[in-house]
Amino acid sequence: MKTTKTIKRVGLLTLVVLMLAVALASCAGNTSTVNSTWTSADTDAPTYFARILVQDAAAREKFVAASRGYNMSAEGFDDSTVTVGETKPVDVEAAKTALEAVKPTDDASLVKFNEFRDALTAEEVATTVEKMKTTVDLTEKTNPLVWVGKFLGVITNITFGNYVLALFVFALIVEVLLLYFSIRQQQNSIKQAKLSPKERAIRKKYAGRTDQVSQRKMQEEVQKLYQDEGFNPMGGCLPLLIQMPIVIALYNIVIDPLRYVLGKAEGLSSALSTFATTARAAGGLGQTLTSSGKGTIELLSKLSTENLSHLSKFSYYANAADCAKALEGVSVPDFNLFGLNTGLTPGFREPWALIIIPILTFVAYFASMKINRKLSYQPAAQDPQMGCSNNMMDITMPLMSVYIAFITPAAVGIYWIFKCLIGVLKQFILHKAMPLPTFTEEDYKKAEKEMKAKNRGKAEPEYTAAPDGRVYRSLHHIDDEDDLPPKGSIAAPATKDDEEETEPVAEQTPADPDAPVLKEDRKNNQNK
C-alpha cells in the first residue's frame, strides 16, 4: 500500500516537472553562438561567409533576401508588401549589412572578414547563397506510427476529408482498442473493494495511533492481507502505465498529419515549415506559425496550391524542385469546424473564438477525473497526504491540458476533449456492467470479528517491568490480545465491547493508591 502511494506521488511529481520542462523549453530562445573565426580552409569570401551565415538564421535570411534584391534592414521595410516569388537584381550593400550580425571578435579574423566583405561582388553573393543550400532527405520511412497515421488518413477520407470528425471517430476506435486494459483495471478495483471490510477492520484497530511504529505495523498487516488474498495493488497502475506511451504516440500523429496521415518524409515536414516561415523577400511565404516546431496542422491549414508552386525555387534547398514534386497531388484535410480553422493555435488574438477550446479542455478533463473517481473504487480510509495529492492532480492535470491546448493547434485540444468524453462514457458502461460490491454494517462487523479471532491465536507478548515494579503495556502491541492486561500492568479503561467479552478477574489491589482501577475490580469492591 505504501509502495503504491509512493509511486502515485512520484508520478504526480514527474508530470509537474515535465510540464515545467515543456514550458521552459517553449520559452527558451536560441542561445547558440556563431563561430566566425577565420581558418585557412576559408579560401575565399563565399566559402567563409557561407560557413558562418548558416549558423545564424536571421542573418542568413537577410543575406538571401539581398541576393534577391531586397534590403530587410532598411528603415520601414515591410515584408508583407513583397510579392511571393518576385526577384530583383542583387543588392550588394544589403548583403554587406546582413554580414554585420556574424562579424568575428578576434583581430586576425576581423581583418580577413573586412577584406572579404569590402571586396564582395554580386557574383560572390549568389555563390554564397548556393554554398549555403542543403539537401532535404525525402526518404519515406515506415514505422508503426506511420501505419496508425495512414489509418487516420483512411478515416479522414471516409468522413469526407473533415479532420475534426475523423479525430472523433479515431478517438472512439482507440478507446475501444484499449478497452481490455480498462476491464483489467475495473477487475482490479472490484478485487480491492471486496477486501475493504477486512482492511477497514485493520485500520479501525489502529485508529488514533499516529506514531510511526503503529503506522508501519498497520501497513504491514494491510500488505499481508493483500498477499493472503492474492491481490496486487499495482495491478491497477499497470494499465495506466501501458496507455501512457500510446497516448503520447497518438499525440504525435494528430499534430503532424503531413508526416503520418499523408505519409510524407519527416525531412519534408521541416523543410515545408522553413519555407512557410521564411520572409517573402528571401523566397519564402512570410507566414507566422504560432505552433512552429509542434507539428504541421497549422502549416497545412494555411497552404494553398499556388503557394506550394514557389517551393521549387526556394533558395535554401538544393533539391527544392524535388520537394515541390513530392507534394504534388496531396489532398490536404479540411480543418474547419463551424467556420473556425482548428489548424490554428488558440490565443489572445484573432480568431478569438478559438479561445473556447482550452477552456472546454479544462472543463472536460476536470469533470472526467471527478466522474471517473466516483465510478471507481476509492478506499474507505484515505491517507490525508493522498487526499492532498488527489486534489492537486484534479487541478494540475487539467491545467497541464490547458497549457498544451494553448501552444498547439486547436485540433489537438478538440481531440483531448473527445478522448475525455469517450473515456467517461466507457467508465460508466464498465461501472454498470461490472459493478463494485457494496457492504452493509453487518458485513463490516463480521469482518472485524473475523480479524479479532485471527489475532487471538498469536502468542502472548513479553512485558518488561519498570523501575517501580509495575509492568506497562506498549502502545505498539495493539495487535496483541487487548481484552485483558497482564498481571500487575496498568491498562487503559476498557471499552463497552471489552466489558462484554472479558471474563471477570480476581480482585487486585493497585500497588499505587493513585493507579487506575479496572472496572471489574471496581464492581467486586462494591459487592464486598
The pLDDT of residue 289: 80
Spatial separation of the C-alpha atoms in residues 518 and 413, rounded to whole Å: 68
**Would you state the torsion angle of the CA atoms of residues 406, 409, 415, 418, taken in this order, to the nearest 10 degrees?**
60
Whole-number Cα distances in Å, 405 to 288, 342, 422: 18, 11, 18
The pLDDT of residue 72: 95
What is the tens place of the pLDDT at every residue in 380-437?
A: 555 544 444 566 677 788 888 888 888 888 888 999 899 999 999 999 999 999 888 8
Spatial separation of the C-alpha atoms in residues 495 and 422, rounded to whole Å: 52
Residue entry with cell 487539467: 398
Are the C-beta atoms of 433 and 183 separated by less than 8 Å? Answer: no
Whole-number Cα distances in Å, 468 to 248, 321, 472: 68, 99, 11
Whole-number Cα distances in Å, 353 to 189, 349, 490, 501: 41, 9, 74, 71
Whole-number Cα distances in Å, 470 to 77, 454, 463, 488: 97, 29, 10, 6
- Three state DSSP letters for 93-134: HHHHHHHHHHCCCCHHHHHHHHHHHHCCCHHHHHHHHHHHCE
The pLDDT of residue 462: 45
The pLDDT of residue 89: 95
Spatial separation of the C-alpha atoms in residues 499 and 484, rounded to whole Å: 10
Spatial separation of the C-alpha atoms in residues 438 and 442, rounded to whole Å: 12
For the chain, which residues make up each domain, given as ranges?
45-132, 135-195+231-439
The pLDDT of residue 389: 54
- pLDDT per residue, tens digit, the chain (528 aa), is 444 455 445 444 554 444 444 444 444 444 457 888 999 899 999 999 999 999 999 999 999 999 999 999 999 999 999 998 899 999 999 999 999 999 998 999 999 999 999 999 999 999 999 999 999 999 888 888 889 998 999 999 999 999 999 999 999 998 898 888 888 888 888 888 888 888 888 888 877 787 888 888 888 888 888 888 877 777 666 666 776 787 788 888 888 898 888 888 889 988 998 999 999 999 999 988 876 666 788 888 887 766 788 899 999 999 999 999 998 878 888 898 888 888 888 877 777 888 999 999 999 989 998 888 888 777 655 554 444 456 667 778 888 888 888 888 888 899 989 999 999 999 999 999 988 888 888 877 887 787 777 766 554 444 444 555 554 444 444 444 444 444 444 444 444 444 444 444 444 444 444 444 444 554 455 554
Q: What is the pTM of this model?
A: 0.67
The pLDDT of residue 32: 52
Spatial separation of the C-alpha atoms in residues 36 and 51, rounded to whole Å: 8
Are the C-beta atoms of 255 and 409 separated by less than 8 Å? Answer: yes
Map residue 489 onto helix, strand or coil: strand
Dihedral angle sign, alpha carbons of residues 427, 11, 256, 362: positive
